[in-house]
Amino acid sequence: MLENPPVLTIHRGFRRADKQLIDRFHGAQTSHLADAMDGRGALDYRIKPLDPSTAIFAGPAITAFAYPADVMAVFGALAEAEPGDVIIVANDAFTRTAVLGDIAAGMMKNKGVAAFVTDGLARDKAGIIATGLPVFCQGIQPNSPAMNGPGVVGAPITLSDVHVEPGDIVVGDADGVVVVPVAQAERVLQRLAAIRAAEERTLKAVADGAVMAAGARRFIEQATIIER
């Protein structure tokens, strides 16, 4: 028989990456970051910014798990958040109630939170956009949640198939959100530089009239041809 968990559990003591390291990720294109992590790291395609014009952010994750139809963990994360943090909330992709509204978003903005990310839903879209806080979610749902718990803050979470440790680096843009494990940050940055350079060369080639990628051309030249 299951026992009722505590209303709110907060794990403290995780390490945030240095601001200088975080700053090196700011403005990175999420597709480039995914390429730098072997084509992985992006959250579910349905998690998109409510306002693409304010979608760019980078910061350390303060993780939370909010049980479906409840937002106790959201406010627990807000209480623990430091300026520059990204509050990232797993909600079991629940779609019957919202996990964030404009009042909570305004409080996060006041505290200096860099962004809010969830696999759940939000409400009060116009009000959230007015706060200027980058908010990423699966959509809008006016139904209100409860705040009774249980909820967990500061423990590892999983959104879709992406595992997130507290302190991991979370990066967003108009395309979506990518999570960079902090232990891999330097390696990802090194690969990111090479990917950006290759992208610039390819874009220049396209601007100059290229009609085929060099890598694809090699396979096409080696293709088995069957005449009919």
Residue 31 banded pLDDT, cuts 50, 70, 90? very high
State pLDDT tens for residues 203-227.
Answer: 887 887 878 887 788 888 888 889 8
pLDDT mean over 6-14 = 94
Does residue 82 fall inside a structural domain? Answer: yes
pLDDT of residue 204: 85
Does residue 171 fall inside a structural domain? Answer: yes
Mark 191-203 as b/e (b = at least 16 C-beta within 10 Å): bbeebeeeeeeee
pLDDT of residue 192: 94
* Residue 39 exposed, middle or buried by CB count within 10 Å (0-12, 13-18, 19+): exposed
pLDDT of residue 206: 82
Does residue 222 fall inside a structural domain? Answer: no
Average per-residue pLDDT in the chain?
94
* Residue 128 exposed, middle or buried by CB count within 10 Å (0-12, 13-18, 19+): buried
Measured CA to CA, the distance from residue 201 to residue 218 in angstroms comes to 18
pLDDT of residue 211: 81
Does residue 165 fall inside a structural domain? Answer: yes
The domain in which residue 69 lies consists of 8-182
Tell me how many domains the chain contains: 1
Does residue 189 fall inside a structural domain? Answer: no
pLDDT of residue 26: 95
Does residue 227 fall inside a structural domain? Answer: no
pLDDT mean over 168-189 = 97
Does residue 3 fall inside a structural domain? Answer: no
Task: Judge whether residue 160 has pLDDT over 90.
Answer: no
State pLDDT tens for residues 55-109.
Answer: 999 999 999 999 999 999 999 999 999 999 999 999 999 999 999 999 999 999 9
Give this prediction's pTM.
0.93
Does residue 1 fall inside a structural domain? Answer: no
For position 139, which CATH number holds?
A: 3.50.30.40
Measured CA to CA, the distance from residue 121 to residue 99 in angstroms comes to 6
First to last CA, the chain: 68
